Amino acid sequence: MVRERSVSSQEAMLAAYVSPPAKLNGRVDVVAYDPVWPGLFEREAARIRAVLGPVVVALEHVGSTSVPGLAAKPIVDVLLVVADSGDESTYVPALEAAGYVLRVREPEWHEHRMFKGPDTDVNLHVHTVGSPEITRMLTFRDWLRAHEEDRALYESVKSGLAARDWTYVQDYADAKNDVVDEILSRAAPDGPRRD
């Protein structure tokens, strides 16, 4: 059964940001797949491993840039899994010293944290081991990698939405919820949905 994905109210979205998010007030840039993206992920993963060492439980390339052939915003999404993302003292100071900037803190949503990378367009998402969001992200990525029809559907919807004007990028992300849920219902009929 598909559960509804949450849509960020403007107030909730703004409250999650450590510093106010930049307003887009325009269109989202979605570009053709770039084969350089996996290399950018590997570079970031090596940097994060060097900085955090054994704090890293897992690092995964997620999001649209992790799916060969899929058009995407040219921002590499990295999933960092740690023992407890709520225990910021174990990873935030080291990441900040390496140039990452903490942008989002969502303790009520799986203790999610999000950083911007130091010198490339990187979104570093931090989750706790066992978070259902980890399973959801990996299931969605792996399904799109293996299923061309759903990859094309997702790209079509994203491209259509990207052509509209958005106040914030998060508004665009929330607008993709229906197609993401539709695809996840095929990928894992009894599996993960975004709470």
Please enumerate, as own/partner, the contacts of 189-192 that have beta carbons within 8 Å and a separation of 24 or more. Answer: 190/1, 191/135, 191/136, 191/139, 192/132, 192/133, 192/135, 192/136, 192/139
Q: What's the pLDDT at 4? A: 39
Q: What is the pLDDT of residues 23-33, one digit of tens each?
A: 878 899 999 99
pLDDT of residue 55: 99
Q: In the chain, how many domains are there?
A: 1
Instruction: Give 119's pLDDT tier (boundaries 50, 70, 90).
Output: confident
Q: Which two tokens stand for residue 189?
A: 């009929």
Question: CA-CA-CA-CA torsion for 32, 35, 37, 38, nearest 10 degrees?
Answer: 140
**Residue 3: per-residue pLDDT:** 35
Q: pTM of the entire structure?
A: 0.88
Alpha-carbon distance of 188 to 139, in angstroms, equals 8
The pLDDT assigned to 19 comes to 73
> Does residue 182 lie in a domain region?
yes
In a domain, 48, yes or no: yes
Q: Kindly state the percentage of the chain with pLDDT values over 90.
A: 76
Q: How high does pLDDT run on average in the chain? A: 90
Q: What is the mean pLDDT of residues 65-80?
A: 98
Q: Which residues pair with 113 in a beta bridge?
A: 105, 126
Q: Is the pLDDT of residue 91 over 50?
A: yes
CA distance 75 to 66: 10
pLDDT average, residue stretch 52-66: 99
CATH number for the domain that contains residue 28: 3.30.460.10
The verdict on residue 70 lying in a domain is yes
Instruction: Give a yes or no: residue 194 inside a domain.
Output: no
**pLDDT over 60 at 93, yes or no:** yes
- Is position 1 within any domain? no
Examine residue 102 and state whether it is found in any structural domain, yes or no: yes
Query: Range of 141's domain?
Result: 23-187
Q: What is the dihedral of CA 145, 130, 125, 93, to 10 degrees?
A: -150
Q: What is the pLDDT of residues 132-156, one digit of tens each?
A: 999 999 999 999 999 999 999 999 9
pLDDT digits (tens, 9 = 90+) for 5-51: 455 566 766 677 777 667 878 899 999 999 999 999 999 999 999 99
| Predicted pLDDT of residue 134 | 96
pLDDT-derived band of residue 2, with 50, 70 and 90 as boundaries?
very low
**Rounded distance, CA 180 to CA 8, Å?**
16
Angstrom distance (rounded) from CA 180 to CA 53: 33
